[in-house]
Amino acid sequence: MEVPSIFLNRILTQAAKKNASSVHLTVGSLPVMRVDDRLVEIKEENITTVDIVEKIIDSIANETEKKKLKEEKEIILIKELASGFRFKINIYYQKSLPSITFNYIPNTFKSFSDLKLPKILNDIIKLNSGFFIIAGSYASGKTTTVAAVIEEINKNYKKNIITIEDPIEYLFVSKKSLISQRQVGKDVKSVVQGLKHCLNEDADVVYIGKIKKEFNEAVPLVLDLAAGNSLVFMEVNADSSIRAIDKVLDSIEIKKSTEAARFSLADVLLGVIVQKLVPKIGGGIVMAVEIVLATGAVKSLIREGKIYQLESIIQTSRKEGMISMEKAIDELIRSGEIKQEDVESLKLDN
């Protein structure tokens, strides 16, 4: 039987050479890596067995983490493997068998220009307060975008930045700004507790990563922060601006009346971007971005409960900097960066 660490280092090294973003180990299948948003089998390896997966888990997880995995049947870890490379590792069960996904975390930050982020973000990061949503489906690059935003503030402005993450992915070093990164379960008991701490601190910028269990309790506190003296960025799993806003509103309405919830969000919302990664012609991936800005017209629709009409506002507000996902993808096709068939295959995959 091959030593698990040797096997793991070998496949992670292969993945690194091919610029893969992730590696998947599922019992009964060949190891698979994601390259340019496509799944590719590592055919040089053998079929993954229960024994090899269990031994890898035993080698990378400590006793506390193994206990949590046994209780919850899923755990996300951040570990340094394969000569110091950082990975977000998702260990979970399917068909009562363990599986592992390794997602590579770059040790450098991408810039706004690298990611081709909307120019409006340069204006957003100068503000002293407000609420900005960064949305997208799983593995759409939301955390990479947030990291670019935080690092841009860190390099250029004197701000007190607090992040609440589970787990911490990108590691920041304070530059012009002071950055405190708090991991849920290690540095702070819960997202809600972390947000209450921010309300009592002089936090200038707050970033909240994906919220797993406390979304409904956390969002009202997020809006309180944004209504005060904090600029708040939050990740939301949603594939459109309308769904992202609806998700936030639904959580507020649990504690407030429907009308109060709509007014609370409209008062602080700065905008929403929604991301989708598409394979690029010639290799690599490119990001399509939907942009909604909280103009007077958008705030009025939110207050009136007419979220469904946002689509028409997006379509007619290009001069203000808005663009729909459909239009963003069309522009990438016309510019020769992506193919129509690749977009269609993504729709089928989803």
State how far the Cα of 34 lies from the Cα of 15, in Å rounded to an integer: 8
Tell whether 54 and 143 lie within a shared domain: no
pLDDT at 74: 94
**119 and 208 inside one domain:** yes
Residue 220 has pLDDT above 90, yes or no: yes
Please enumerate in sequence order all residues whose Cβ is within 8 A of that of 37, keeping only pairs 6 or more positions apart, or say none: 21, 277, 278, 279, 285, 346
Report CA Rg, the chain.
Answer: 21
Average pLDDT over residues 156-172: 95
Q: What pLDDT digit, counting tens, does each position of 194-209 carry?
A: 999 999 988 999 999 9
Q: Write out pLDDT tens, residues 238-273.
A: 999 999 999 999 988 877 788 899 999 999 999 999
Q: Are residues 274 and 174 in the same domain?
A: yes
Domains: count for the chain: 2
**Residue 27: which of 60, 65, 54 has the closest Cα?**
54
| Domain co-membership, 244 together with 289 | yes
Same domain for 117 and 61: no
For residues 201 and 57, membership in a common domain is answered with: no
Mean confidence (pLDDT) of the chain? 91
Pick the last residue of a domain from 74, 105, 136: 105
Average pLDDT for 154-163: 97
Do 100 and 136 share a domain, yes or no? no
Domain boundary among 58, 83, 105: 105
pTM of the prediction?
0.89
Q: Do 88 and 150 sit in the same domain of this protein?
A: no
Beta bridge partners of residue 279, listed in sequence order:
285
Q: What is the CATH number of the domain that holds 36?
A: 3.30.450.90
User: Where would I find the beta strands (DSSP E) of 166-284?
Assistant: 178-183, 205-208, 231-237, 269-279
Q: By residue range, what is the domain housing residue 170?
A: 112-349
**Same domain (yes/no): 168, 278:** yes
With bands split at pLDDT 50, 70 and 90, how would you rate the model's confidence at 348?
very low
The CATH number given to whatever domain includes residue 284 is: 3.40.50.300
Return the closest-CA partner of residue 87 out of 68, 61, 110, 69: 61
Same domain? For 54 and 165 the reply is no
Domain final position from 78, 105, 132: 105
324 in the same domain as 342: yes
Helix (H/G/I), strand (E/B), else coil: 290: strand
**pLDDT single digits (tens) 65-102:** 999 999 999 999 999 887 778 899 999 999 999 999 99
Higher pLDDT residue, 210 or 256? 210
Tell me, yes or no, whether 326 and 290 share the same domain: yes
